[in-house]
Structures are given as structure tokens and as C-alpha cells.
Amino acid sequence: MAGDGLKWDGLLKWSLAHADGTRPPRNLSEEDRKWFMEAMQAQTVDVVKRMKEITSVMKTPEDVLEAQGVKPEDIVEMLDELQEHVESIDMANDLHSIGGLVPLLGYLKNSDSGIRAKAADVVTTIVQNNPRSQQLVMEASGLEPLMSNFTLDPDLAVRTKALGAISSLIRNNKAGIAAFRLANGYAGLRDALSSDNVRFQRKALNLIQYLLKENNLDCNIVTELGLPRLMVHLVSSDDSNVREAALGGLLELARDRTSGSSTVLAEEDKLKQILENRIENISSMSAEDLGAAREERQLVDSLWSTCYNEPSSLREKGLMVLPGEEAPQPPPDVAGKFFEPPLRAWAASKQLQKGGSNSAEDKKQAKPLLLGLGPVGSSLSSNQEQQNPN
């Protein structure tokens, strides 16, 4: 908007002049008040009104927009603005009520790949950590075009954006996960792992790991489709994020004891060889690179221990916890304070017995091991003895 900078500069100078502390406060004149309100209104965007205008454009047929000279780049720019507005959860949920959600989902089928990709990007923003919008998109059959773009679109950028939207849509959404499974989504994930695109691979691996955590029954599906072999291959990826995501997914499979996938992994010679290679590479890293690879070190060790029932050589080499890193902390001892006094008394009794003392006085002083609350009288007597040891 032309002149925006000048209006903001004028408003700033006016504010500083009336609040610099060099003059006593005064009531605004009607002229100043009018100027101030006009300046503020000129810079205020009515978000709902603007979203309605964008919705109107999205509802306009593609050929009509083309006839009016609207280019795909203009639509993408418009969707960029819409994405900014729906970053607010309230605005995201309002998009459906003003009629904008369905035409947005329609853009997933647009003839222009840039528009299809950007529409999926906006959907991701709308449904992310937003159960209400997840439900609205599912009810509007939004998963279907996303699945189609994820598995069939000729443009890899569109496929990647669609996978990102699917991941956000079905996360913490049982109905969405079930629909994804029924739509043969794991086959699409297998294809994504087979691609050469690092970003596509990473998104697929992250979703696989999440799904396996949510339901270990999916380990059967993953194993039958041959995904473990692909994941093992990606442990050697040049991209650290892909390596970590692949290791995390394999660890979920290895921990499952119901599908037999853990046995398959343990018997996979290539996995052991690749883990040994990773350990060798980690051993030769600089101190800085070792710090950046902390999660990978932990995943390699955990996967090795789970598959082969022994600690990895990273522990022998002292590479699990580096100087300056915090070692894993044990859980807090919340029960020790209740058991410590009776245990000490029991130990004292044992020590007396070892010393060969059989006197009646020794037997009288030796307190029994009490794991529960003793008689009231005994408790009071014990407290008195502790307070008056002499």
C-alpha cells in the first residue's frame, strides 16, 4: 500500500511528541483525536473481512480468474496472506464458518503445481495442534485430495507439502490415522523412503516413527511392506536428520515384541554392519561434531542394545556421555525416606548379631524392621528416643 511508511512515521513522531515527558499531559483536541483515529484505522486490517475477500476469490472459477488477468503467482501470494491469518487458532476455525475451508481444499486439485503445494501448506497451518480444524477438514473430505497429491502428484514439491499436511492432520487424531491406514498410506510412505529427496524422506520417517509409537500393531504392516530394509539403508544417509529419524523408527520396531519385527532386525546382518560403520564414524568425529550428534549416539547405542542384548562399543569408548554433558539422571527416590529409618535399625540389629552379643540389653535395643506403620505407642517411644538420645 503506497504511503504506508509515511503514515507510520507520522504516527510515531506524533506519539513521541505527546509522551516525551518534557511537557505536562494535556487533553487531545478534536482535530488531534480525529487525525489519530484516521491514522490508526488506515493501518488496521479487519482480518475476518480480509479472509472473506480471499474466500470470494477462491470460489471464483479458474477460467474466470484467468480471463481477468489473475496469474497463478497472484493466487499463491494471496494464499501466503491467508496462511498468516490462520496462524491464529481462532481464525483457523473461523475459516470454515465463513465458507473458506472447502474452496481452499479445492485448490489442492488446481492445475497449477505451485497453487497445489501452497494450498497444502495452508492446510498444515490450519490443522496443526488444532483438533477442531482437524475434524472440520476430515468432515470436508480433505484427506482424499491430500492422499492423492502425496502418492500420485508428478511434482515432488507438491507430494512433500501434501505429506506435511497429512502428518499434521492425523497427529493425535484417531479417525485420521485409521483413514490414513485404510487409504494404503504406508505404501505411500514406502515410496517416499525410496525417493532421492532428503526432505521427503525425513517427513516420511518422522510420520512412521509417530505411527509406530501410537500403535505397535502397525509394526506388522511396516514389516510386511519391507520398510525396515529401506530404513536400515537410510541409517547411512549423509543427512543427520534422516539418519536420526531412521534410527528412531527402527528402534520402535526393535522394541516391539509382538510382530516379530525385532527378530527380523536382529537377524539382519546389514543392520549390524551399518551400525558398526556408524560407531566407527562417530568415533572419528571432532568434539564439536560429537556434541551435535548426541541424539544419534544415544539412538545407535539403544538400537544395538535392543537388537543384540549387549551395550554398544560406544560405551567402552566413553562416547555416550561427553565432558560437559549431563548423564541420564535416575528417577527421584520418593520412597526412600519412608524405608530408611527401619532399614537402618535392621542393619544395626544384624551388626549386633555378627558381633556375637547375646545380652538381653542388646536384644532389647535392636529394633525390628518395620515396613508399615507400627503401633502408636512404639512410634511415640521411637520419636522420644531420637529426640533424647541421652
Counts for the chain of helices (H) and strands (E), in that order: 25, 0
- Whether residue 209 is contained in a domain is answered as no
* Maximal CA-CA distance, the chain: 110
Task: For residues 308 and 168, give the distance between their C-alpha atoms in angstroms, rounded to a whole number.
Answer: 35
- The answer to whether 193 touches 201, Cβ cutoff 8 Å, is yes
Task: For residues 98 and 51, give the distance between their C-alpha atoms in angstroms, rounded to a whole number.
Answer: 8
- Whether residue 292 is contained in a domain is answered as yes
**Each residue's pLDDT tens digit in the chain (390 positions)?**
344 444 455 544 545 555 555 555 556 677 766 766 665 555 446 889 999 999 999 999 989 998 999 999 999 999 999 999 999 999 999 999 999 999 999 999 999 999 999 999 999 999 999 999 999 999 999 999 999 999 999 999 999 999 999 999 999 999 999 999 999 999 999 999 999 999 999 999 999 999 999 988 899 899 899 999 999 999 999 999 999 999 999 999 998 866 666 566 756 678 999 999 999 999 999 999 999 999 999 999 999 999 889 999 999 999 988 776 766 555 555 555 555 566 566 666 655 565 554 555 554 454 444 444 444 444 444 444 454 544
Q: What angle do CA 368, 374, 375 make, to 5 degrees?
A: 120
Task: For residues 172 and 268, give the distance between their C-alpha atoms in angstroms, rounded to a whole number.
Answer: 32
- Whether residue 275 is contained in a domain is answered as yes
Please tell me the pTM assigned to this model. Answer: 0.72
Q: Which long-range contacts (CB under 8 A, 24 or more apart) does 102-105 make?
A: 102/140, 103/55, 103/58, 103/59, 104/58, 105/137, 105/140, 105/141, 105/142, 105/145
- Whether residue 343 is contained in a domain is answered as no
Q: Which of 288, 202, 284 is nearest to 243 (CA)?
A: 202
CB-based contacts of 149, cutoff 8 Å, min separation 6: 108, 116, 120, 158, 159, 161, 162
- Domain range spanning residue 312? 219-321
- Whether residue 227 is contained in a domain is answered as yes
Please give the DSSP secondary-structure letter assigned to residue 70. -
**Which set of grid coordinates corresponds to residue 206?**
518422522
- Whether residue 304 is contained in a domain is answered as yes
- Whether residue 53 is contained in a domain is answered as no
- Whether residue 21 is contained in a domain is answered as no
Q: Name the CA dihedral angle for 48, 50, 54, 59, rounded to a multiple of 10 degrees.
A: 60
The number of distinct structural domains making up the chain is 1
